[in-house]
C-alpha cells in the first residue's frame, strides 16, 4: 500500500507538535504545518509524483529540504528525524497540545512539575485539583482543560469534508471498475455537504451485487471489514474512516437515496407528512396499503407527500419542509454563479504564486475578477505589508491590469484588526484601495463583550468592507473566539459592511447557521477562498456548498455580481 497524502500530513503535523514542545524556532514549526496543509490539499497522490520523478519544490511551501523529507516518508513510511525528536519527548505529550487551552510552554510545565505525559494523566490531575495549584494556571484554566478534554473526545470521530472527499474519490473509481454498475453515489452527510462527516454511506445500484461486495472487501486501503453482507457491508479504512456500502436494485434507487442522504430528522419529518396522507415511506419506496406507489427517483418520493424536490444541502429539518410546502424554497447559489474571488495572497507575503500566476489561474476558473488581499504588517510571520509596500503594490496592480485580458485584479488588503479595534494601516492608504478584508488574527481570547466591541469598532472605520473569517475557528483544531455573532451581523448591516464566508476546508467560516442568520438579517456575504496558491482557488466549491447549507441565493452574495456592480456595492 503506497503512502497516502494524509500519512505525510500526519507526520509533518506531528513533527511540528514535537518541535513546538521543544520550543523550536516558530518559523521552522510553521514550515512543517504549511507543508502538511499543502500535501493534504493536493488533488494527486505524492507517492505517484515521486514515482514519476516530479519536482516537489514547485509546490506551495515545499523547499528542497521538505521535498527530500517527503521522499523519505514515501520510501520508508516514516521520517528518521521525527523518530529522533520523539525519543527526546515522552510519547503522548504532543496530544496535550491539541487542547485549545494548552500551548507548548504549559505542556512543558505540566510535564516537569506534575509528571504528566498523556491525556489520561492530565484528566486525573485536573479532577484532583492539582493543576490549579501550579503557577500561572488557576481554577479557570483547570476547568477549561477538563472542558477541552471532552471536546477532543467528541471531535476525533468526525473528519473534514475535503478529507472525506479525498478518500471517497479513489474508492468510487475503484468500485466503478466492477462493471454493470448503474449508479454509484456517496449519500449521507457527505451529499448534504456537511463540513465534517462521521462516515461515508455509499449507494450502488447494480445487477451483480455479490461482485460489488467482493470487490469492496478487497480494496487495498481497508484496515478491517466490520460486517459483510449481500446488500450491506461496513469497513474501516486505514485512516480510521468508516464506510457503509449499500447495494440495491435500480427500482429502489430514489427511495434509498432519499433515506440514506438523511438527515435523519429531515427523513422523520417527511415520513410524518406521509403518515398524514396514509402513506408509509421507507428505503424501499412509498407504500399505500401494500401497493408501492413511488421510489424510483427522489423527486417521486417528495411528490407523493406534496413536496417539490429539496436540495440535499437543505435537508437538516431547519424549516425546509415548511418552506417547500409554501413554495418558498430558496434558489440556491451554484458554483457557476461566482464571478470572482475576494480574498487571496501572493508570494509578496505568505502566498506561493505571483500576481500574474494568480490572475491567470482565476481567469482559467472563468472569473471576471480576483481581489489581491495581502496581510498587513502586524502579521509579521507572513511578511505583512506596510503603507509603503502597499503603495508599491497598488501601482504594480494598476500596471498589470492594463496588460491583462479577460480578468481584472482588484486592489485589496487583508488588514489586521488590532486589539483596540483600530485597523493596522492608516486611512490614507486604505482609501486608495478598491476593497478591504478586515480580520482578527491576534488577541483571540478576549471576553465576548470586548471581542464583539473590538470588531464593531473596526467596522466604524469607513474603509472597512468585509469581515474576514469572522469567528476565527479552524475545524477540529481551534474553537471560534468568543463573539456575539448576532450583534456583529447587525452592526455590519447598519454600516454597509459584509461578512466573509471563508471557503478554506479547514475554516468554512461562517458556519451554515451563521450564513442563514445573515440572510435573515439581510446582510450580504462574500464567498472567498483565502487562496495562498493557484490551486487553492478551487476551494470555492466548499464555500458555495456551505453557503447552500446556509440557504444563500446568488443575490445574497456580493461576488456573484459583475465587476462594475461590485464596485458600487463596495462604496459605503
Ligand atoms: P454522519 O455520518 O454522522 O456525518 O451523518 P449521516 O447523516 O451521514 O448519518 P449516518 O451515516 O448515521 O446515516 C446516513 C443516513 O441514513 C442518515 O442521514 C439518515 C439515514 N438513517 C440512518 N439511520 C436512520 C434511522 O434510524 N432513521 C431514519 N429515518 N434514517 C436513518
Ligand atoms: Ca454518514
Ligand atoms: Ca453510516
Ligand atoms: Zn486571515
* Neighbouring C-alpha atoms within 13 Å toward the C-beta of 168: 24
Write the residue with the smallest CA distance to atom 25 of ligand 1. 264
For residue 564, with 0-12 CB atoms within 10 Å meaning exposed, 13-18 middle and 19 or more buried, which class applies? Answer: exposed
- Which has the minimum average pLDDT: 129-138, 460-469, 531-540? 129-138
Q: What is the pLDDT of residues 466-479, one digit of tens each?
A: 999 999 999 988 88
Verify that 59 and 181 share a domain, yes or no: no
Q: Which of 325, 349, 369 is the last residue of a domain?
A: 325
Write the residue with the smallest CA distance to atom 9 of ligand 1. 188
Quote the mean pLDDT of the chain. 94
246 lines ligand 1 (CB under 6 A): no
Verify that 470 and 516 share a domain, yes or no: yes
Per-residue pLDDT at 97? 77
Pick from 81, 79, 122, 108: which is nearest to 21 by CA?
108
The secondary structure element, H or E, covering residue 411 is strand 408-416
C-alpha cell of residue 278: 396514509
CA 245 to centroid of ligand 2, rounded, Å: 11
Q: What is the pLDDT of residues 6-57, one digit of tens each?
A: 899 999 988 998 888 887 888 999 999 999 988 988 877 899 899 888 899 9
Verify that 206 and 279 share a domain, yes or no: no
Verify that 169 and 134 share a domain, yes or no: no
C-alpha cell of residue 335: 458554483
Verify that 448 and 361 share a domain, yes or no: yes
Give me the CATH number covering residue 227.
3.30.460.10
Verify that 294 and 390 share a domain, yes or no: no
Residues in the chain: 572
Predicted structure pTM score: 0.79
At 160 the three-state DSSP class reads: strand
pLDDT over threshold 80, residue 449: yes
Strands 498-502 and 466-467, by their bridges, are parallel
Verify that 143 and 170 share a domain, yes or no: no
Write the residue with the smallest CA distance to atom 16 of ligand 1. 260
pLDDT over threshold 80, residue 460: yes
C-alpha cell of residue 38: 499543502
Q: What is the pLDDT of residues 182-217, one digit of tens each?
A: 999 999 999 999 999 999 999 999 989 999 999 999
pLDDT over threshold 90, residue 409: yes
189 lines ligand 1 (CB under 6 A): yes
Per-residue pLDDT at 86? 83
Q: How confident is the model at residue 240 (pLDDT cuts 50, 70, 90)?
A: confident
Q: Which of 233, 248, 263 is the last residue of a domain?
A: 248
The secondary structure element, H or E, covering residue 60 is none
Verify that 412 and 509 share a domain, yes or no: yes
Verify that 111 and 79 share a domain, yes or no: yes
pLDDT over threshold 60, residue 123: yes
Write the residue with the smallest CA distance to atom 28 of ligand 1. 264
For residue 380, with 0-12 CB atoms within 10 Å meaning exposed, 13-18 middle and 19 or more buried, which class applies? Answer: exposed
Pick from 309, 308, 280: which is nearest to 293 by CA?
280
Mean pLDDT of 341-365: 97
Mean pLDDT of 339-343: 98
Contact 549, 192 (CB under 8 A): yes
Mean pLDDT of 481-499: 96
Is 128 inside any structural domain? Answer: yes
Angle, helix 161-176 to helix 5-22, in steps of 10 degrees: 150
Buried b (16+ CB within 10 A) or exposed e, 283-294: bbbbbeeeeeeb
Pick from 317, 293, 296, 298: which is nearest to 308 by CA?
298
DSSP for 491-550 reads HHHHHT-EEEEE--TTT-BS-HHHHHHHHHTT--EEEE--BSSGGGGGGHHHHHHHHHHT
Mean pLDDT of 57-61: 89
Site to probe by mutation for ligand 1, drawn from 165, 193, 201 as the one with most ligand atoms within 8 Å of Cβ, is 201
Give the ranges where 277-416 is alpha helix by DSSP (H). 298-304, 320-325, 355-364, 387-403
CA 262 to centroid of ligand 1, rounded, Å: 6
Per-residue pLDDT at 40? 85
Verify that 271 and 287 share a domain, yes or no: yes
Site to probe by mutation for ligand 1, drawn from 168, 191, 267, 549 as the one with most ligand atoms within 8 Å of Cβ, is 267
Distance, C-alpha 379 to centroid of its chain: 22
Per-residue pLDDT at 153? 64
C-alpha cell of residue 152: 477532543
Is 330 inside any structural domain? Answer: no
Contact 537, 503 (CB under 8 A): no
Which ligand 1 atom is the nearest neighbour of the CA of 194? Answer: 4
Verify that 287 and 342 share a domain, yes or no: no
Is 359 inside any structural domain? Answer: yes
Per-residue pLDDT at 149? 84
Give me the CATH number covering residue 454.
3.20.20.140
Domain count for the chain, please give it.
4
259 lines ligand 1 (CB under 6 A): yes
Q: What is the pLDDT of residues 304-324, one digit of tens each?
A: 999 999 999 999 999 999 999
Verify that 488 and 404 share a domain, yes or no: yes
pLDDT over threshold 60, residue 559: yes
Q: How confident is the model at residue 536 (pLDDT cuts 50, 70, 90)?
A: very high
Q: Which residues contact 299 (CB under 8 A, 6 or more apart)?
A: 254, 309
Write the residue with the smallest CA distance to atom 15 of ligand 1. 260
pLDDT over threshold 90, residue 98: no
CA 272 to centroid of ligand 3, rounded, Å: 22
Which ligand 1 atom is the nearest neighbour of the CA of 189? Answer: 8
Give me the CATH number covering residue 104.
1.10.150.110
Integer CA distances (angstroms), 88 to 55, 355, 471, in order: 33, 43, 37
pLDDT over threshold 90, residue 1: no
Contact 163, 196 (CB under 8 A): no
- Which has the minimum average pLDDT: 143-152, 196-205, 442-451, 543-552? 143-152
Tell me which residue range forms the domain holding 219.
159-248
Strands 369-375 and 408-416, by their bridges, are parallel
Amino acid at each position: 500500500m503506497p503512502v497516502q497524502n494524509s500519512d505525510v500530513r500526519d507526520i509533518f503535523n506531528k513533527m511540528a507538535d514535537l518541535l513546538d514542545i521543544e520550543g523550536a524556532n516558530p518559523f521552522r514549526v510553521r514550515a512543517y504545518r504549511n507543508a502538511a496543509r499543502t500535501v493534504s490539499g493536493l488533488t494527486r497522490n505524492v507517492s505517484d509524483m515521486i514515482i514519476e520523478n516530479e519536482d516537489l519544490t514547485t509546490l506551495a511551501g515545499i523547499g528542497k529540504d521538505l521535498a527530500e523529507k517527503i521522499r523519505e516518508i514515501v520510501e520508508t513510511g516514516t521520517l528518521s528525524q521525527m523518530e529522533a525528536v520523539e525519543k527526546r519527548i515522552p510519547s503522548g505529550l504532543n496530544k496535550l497540545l491539541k487542547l485549545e487551552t494548552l500551548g507548548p510552554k504549559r505542556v512543558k510545565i505540566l510535564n516537569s512539575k506534575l509528571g504528566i505525559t498523556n491525556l489520561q494523566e492530565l484528566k486525573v490531575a485536573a479532577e484532583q485539583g492539582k493543576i490549579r495549584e501550579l503557577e500561572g494556571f488557576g481554577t479557570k484554566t483547570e476547568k477549561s482543560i477538563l472542558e477541552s478534554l471532552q471536546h477532543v473526545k467528541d471531535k476525533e470521530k468526525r473528519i473534514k469534508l475535503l478529507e472525506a472527499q479525498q478518500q471517497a474519490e479513489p474508492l468510487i473509481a475503484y468500485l466503478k471498475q466492477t462493471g454493470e454498475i448503474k449508479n454509484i453515489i456517496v449519500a449521507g452527510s457527505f451529499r448534504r455537504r456537511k463540513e465534517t462527516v462521521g462516515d461515508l454511506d455509499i449507494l450502488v445500484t447494480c445487477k451483480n451485487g455479490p461482485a460489488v461486495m467482493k470487490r469492496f472487501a478487497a480494496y487495498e486501503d481497508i484496515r478491517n471489514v466490520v460486517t459483510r453482507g449481500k446488500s450491506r457491508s461496513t469497513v474501516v479504512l486505514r485512516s480510521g474512516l468508516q464506510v457503509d456500502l449499500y447495494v440495491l436494485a435500480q427500482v429502489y434507487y430514489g427511495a434509498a437515496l432519499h433515506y440514506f442522504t438523511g438527515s435523519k430528522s429531515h427523513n422523520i419529518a417527511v415520513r410524518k407528512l406521509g403518515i398524514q396522507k396514509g402513506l408509509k415511506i421507507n428505503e424501499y419506496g412509498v407504500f399505500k396499503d401494500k401497493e408501492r406507489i413511488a421510489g424510483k427517483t427522489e423527486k417521486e418520493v417528495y411528490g407523493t407527500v406534496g413536496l417539490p424536490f429539496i436540495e440535499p444541502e437543505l435537508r437538516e429539518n431547519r424549516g425546509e419542509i415548511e418552506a417547500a410546502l409554501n413554495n418558498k424554497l430558496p434558489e440556491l447559489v451554484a458554483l457557476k454563479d461566482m464571478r470572482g474571488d475576494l480574498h487571496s495572497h501572493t508570494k509578496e507575503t505568505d502566498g506561493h504564486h505571483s500576481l500574474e500566476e494568480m490572475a491567470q489561474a482565476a481567469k482559467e476558473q472563468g472569473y471576471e475578477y480576483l481581489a489581491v488581499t495581502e496581510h498587513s504588517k502586524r502579521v509579521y510571520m507572513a511578511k505583512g505589508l506596510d503603507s509603503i509596500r502597499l503603495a508599491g503594490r497598488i501601482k504594480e496592480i494598476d500596471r498589470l491590469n492594463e496588460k491583462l485580458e479577460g480578468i481584472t485584479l482588484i486592489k485589496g488588503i487583508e488588514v489586521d484588526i488590532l486589539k483596540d479595534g483600530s485597523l493596522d494601516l492608516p486611512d490614507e492608504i486604505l482609501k486608495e484601495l478598491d476593497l478591504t478584508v478586515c480580520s482578527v488574527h491576534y488577541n483571540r481570547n478576549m471576553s465576548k463583550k470586548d471581542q464583539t466591541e473590538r470588531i464593531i469598532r473596526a467596522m466604524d472605520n469607513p474603509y472597512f468592507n468585509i469581515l474576514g473569517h469572522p469567528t476565527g475557528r479552524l475545524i477540529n483544531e481551534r474553537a471560534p473566539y468568543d463573539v456575539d455573532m448576532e450583534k456583529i451581523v447587525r452592526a455590519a448591516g447598519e454600516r454597509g459592511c459584509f461578512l466573509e464566508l471563508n471557503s478554506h476546508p479547514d475554516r468554512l467560516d461562517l458556519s451554515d447557521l451563521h450564513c442563514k442568520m445573515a440572510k435573515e438579517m439581510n446582510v450580504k456575504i462574500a464567498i472567498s477562498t483565502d487562496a495562498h496558491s493557484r490551486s487553492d482557488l478551487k476551494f470555492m466549491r466548499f464555500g458555495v456548498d456551505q453557503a447552500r447549507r446556509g440557504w444563500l441565493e446568488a443575490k445574497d452574495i456580493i461576488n456573484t455580481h459583475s465587476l462594475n456592480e461590485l464596485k458600487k456595492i463596495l462604496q459605503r
